[in-house]
Amino acid sequence: MEAARQAWISAALRGGVAYFLIGKVFALPSTHAHAWRLAAWLASGIVYAAHIWHEHYRLRSSPGSGALHVAVAVAIGAFLLAVAGMIHSLSTASGIRPTWLVALVAWPAFTAAPAFLGALIAGVVLARRQRSADPG
Protein backbone atom coordinates (compact mmCIF):
# COMPACT_ATOMS: atom_id res chain seq x y z
CA MET A 1 0.00 0.00 0.00
CA GLU A 2 2.83 2.39 0.86
CA ALA A 3 4.53 1.69 -2.49
CA ALA A 4 1.33 2.58 -4.37
CA ARG A 5 1.03 5.80 -2.39
CA GLN A 6 4.62 6.74 -3.12
CA ALA A 7 4.10 5.92 -6.81
CA TRP A 8 1.19 8.30 -7.28
CA ILE A 9 2.82 11.06 -5.23
CA SER A 10 5.98 10.72 -7.27
CA ALA A 11 3.99 10.84 -10.52
CA ALA A 12 2.06 13.90 -9.33
CA LEU A 13 5.26 15.72 -8.40
CA ARG A 14 6.89 14.86 -11.73
CA GLY A 15 3.78 15.97 -13.58
CA GLY A 16 3.56 19.22 -11.61
CA VAL A 17 7.20 20.02 -12.32
CA ALA A 18 6.66 19.19 -16.00
CA TYR A 19 3.71 21.61 -16.20
CA PHE A 20 5.80 24.27 -14.49
CA LEU A 21 8.75 23.78 -16.83
CA ILE A 22 6.48 23.86 -19.87
CA GLY A 23 4.91 27.07 -18.62
CA LYS A 24 8.27 28.73 -18.02
CA VAL A 25 10.23 27.47 -21.03
CA PHE A 26 7.50 28.06 -23.59
CA ALA A 27 7.04 31.62 -22.28
CA LEU A 28 10.69 32.56 -22.95
CA PRO A 29 10.56 33.23 -26.71
CA SER A 30 9.36 36.75 -27.42
CA THR A 31 8.54 36.17 -31.10
CA HIS A 32 5.61 34.14 -32.36
CA ALA A 33 4.01 34.12 -28.91
CA HIS A 34 0.76 32.61 -30.22
CA ALA A 35 2.57 29.61 -31.74
CA TRP A 36 4.59 29.08 -28.56
CA ARG A 37 1.42 29.25 -26.48
CA LEU A 38 -0.20 26.59 -28.68
CA ALA A 39 2.92 24.44 -28.39
CA ALA A 40 2.76 24.78 -24.60
CA TRP A 41 -0.89 23.65 -24.65
CA LEU A 42 0.07 20.66 -26.78
CA ALA A 43 2.99 19.71 -24.52
CA SER A 44 0.81 20.07 -21.42
CA GLY A 45 -1.87 17.95 -23.07
CA ILE A 46 0.69 15.23 -23.70
CA VAL A 47 1.76 15.30 -20.04
CA TYR A 48 -1.91 15.22 -18.99
CA ALA A 49 -2.74 12.24 -21.23
CA ALA A 50 0.41 10.39 -20.16
CA HIS A 51 -0.50 10.89 -16.51
CA ILE A 52 -4.02 9.56 -17.06
CA TRP A 53 -2.56 6.56 -18.92
CA HIS A 54 -0.04 6.00 -16.09
CA GLU A 55 -2.75 6.12 -13.42
CA HIS A 56 -5.04 3.74 -15.31
CA TYR A 57 -2.65 1.19 -16.79
CA ARG A 58 0.42 1.27 -14.55
CA LEU A 59 -0.97 2.11 -11.13
CA ARG A 60 -4.41 0.57 -11.78
CA SER A 61 -6.12 3.45 -10.01
CA SER A 62 -9.87 3.74 -9.95
CA PRO A 63 -11.24 6.55 -12.14
CA GLY A 64 -11.90 8.75 -9.11
CA SER A 65 -8.54 8.35 -7.42
CA GLY A 66 -6.70 8.58 -10.75
CA ALA A 67 -8.51 11.82 -11.53
CA LEU A 68 -7.62 13.17 -8.10
CA HIS A 69 -3.96 12.32 -8.62
CA VAL A 70 -3.92 13.99 -12.04
CA ALA A 71 -5.64 17.08 -10.60
CA VAL A 72 -3.04 17.25 -7.82
CA ALA A 73 -0.27 17.30 -10.46
CA VAL A 74 -2.01 20.10 -12.34
CA ALA A 75 -2.48 22.05 -9.09
CA ILE A 76 1.20 21.63 -8.23
CA GLY A 77 2.19 23.02 -11.62
CA ALA A 78 -0.18 25.97 -11.27
CA PHE A 79 1.07 26.69 -7.75
CA LEU A 80 4.69 26.66 -8.91
CA LEU A 81 3.82 29.02 -11.77
CA ALA A 82 2.07 31.35 -9.32
CA VAL A 83 5.14 31.32 -7.07
CA ALA A 84 7.38 32.06 -10.06
CA GLY A 85 5.12 34.92 -11.10
CA MET A 86 5.16 36.31 -7.60
CA ILE A 87 8.95 36.13 -7.46
CA HIS A 88 9.21 37.78 -10.87
CA SER A 89 6.91 40.60 -9.77
CA LEU A 90 9.28 41.32 -6.88
CA SER A 91 11.87 42.39 -9.47
CA THR A 92 9.55 45.16 -10.67
CA ALA A 93 7.77 46.08 -7.44
CA SER A 94 8.92 46.78 -3.92
CA GLY A 95 6.70 44.18 -2.29
CA ILE A 96 4.32 41.33 -2.86
CA ARG A 97 0.93 42.52 -4.02
CA PRO A 98 -2.05 40.87 -2.33
CA THR A 99 -3.27 39.59 -5.71
CA TRP A 100 -0.31 37.22 -5.79
CA LEU A 101 -1.42 35.70 -2.50
CA VAL A 102 -4.83 35.10 -4.06
CA ALA A 103 -3.12 33.57 -7.12
CA LEU A 104 -1.35 31.02 -4.91
CA VAL A 105 -4.77 29.55 -4.11
CA ALA A 106 -6.83 30.50 -7.17
CA TRP A 107 -4.52 29.21 -9.93
CA PRO A 108 -4.28 25.69 -8.49
CA ALA A 109 -8.03 25.60 -7.78
CA PHE A 110 -9.08 26.93 -11.18
CA THR A 111 -6.83 24.51 -13.05
CA ALA A 112 -7.32 21.43 -10.88
CA ALA A 113 -11.12 21.42 -11.09
CA PRO A 114 -11.39 21.00 -14.88
CA ALA A 115 -8.35 18.68 -14.85
CA PHE A 116 -10.15 16.46 -12.34
CA LEU A 117 -13.34 16.41 -14.40
CA GLY A 118 -11.52 15.59 -17.64
CA ALA A 119 -9.42 12.88 -16.02
CA LEU A 120 -12.49 11.40 -14.33
CA ILE A 121 -14.33 11.16 -17.65
CA ALA A 122 -11.25 9.68 -19.33
CA GLY A 123 -10.82 7.18 -16.48
CA VAL A 124 -14.43 6.04 -16.67
CA VAL A 125 -14.21 5.65 -20.45
CA LEU A 126 -10.96 3.67 -20.17
CA ALA A 127 -12.41 1.45 -17.44
CA ARG A 128 -15.55 0.71 -19.44
CA ARG A 129 -13.54 0.09 -22.58
CA GLN A 130 -11.25 -2.28 -20.71
CA ARG A 131 -14.22 -4.17 -19.20
CA SER A 132 -15.90 -4.56 -22.58
CA ALA A 133 -12.64 -5.80 -24.16
CA ASP A 134 -12.05 -8.43 -21.44
CA PRO A 135 -13.58 -11.78 -22.37
CA GLY A 136 -15.98 -13.24 -19.84
Q: How many residues does the chain have?
A: 136
Q: Residue 76 carries which side chain, given as an amino acid letter?
A: I
- Given a cut of 90, is residue 2 above it in pLDDT? no
- The more confidently predicted of residues 88 and 70 is 70
Helices (H), 26-97: 33-53, 63-90
Collapse the DSSP code of 129 into the 3-class scheme (helix H, G, I; strand E, B; otherwise coil) and give the result.
Answer: helix
Rounded distance, CA 16 to CA 73, Å? 4
pLDDT per position as a tens digit, 36-85: 999 999 999 999 999 999 999 999 999 999 999 999 999 999 999 999 99
pLDDT for 91 equals 84
Rounded distance, CA 65 to CA 6, Å? 14
Average pLDDT, the chain: 93
Q: What is the pTM of this model?
A: 0.91
Please report which helix (H) or strand (E) contains residue 116, including its range: helix 98-133
pLDDT for 98 equals 85
User: Would you say the C-alpha torsion 116, 119, 124, 125 has a positive or negative sign?
Assistant: positive
Q: Residue 48 carries which side chain, given as an amino acid letter?
A: Y
Reported as a pLDDT band with limits 50, 70 and 90, residue 132 is confident
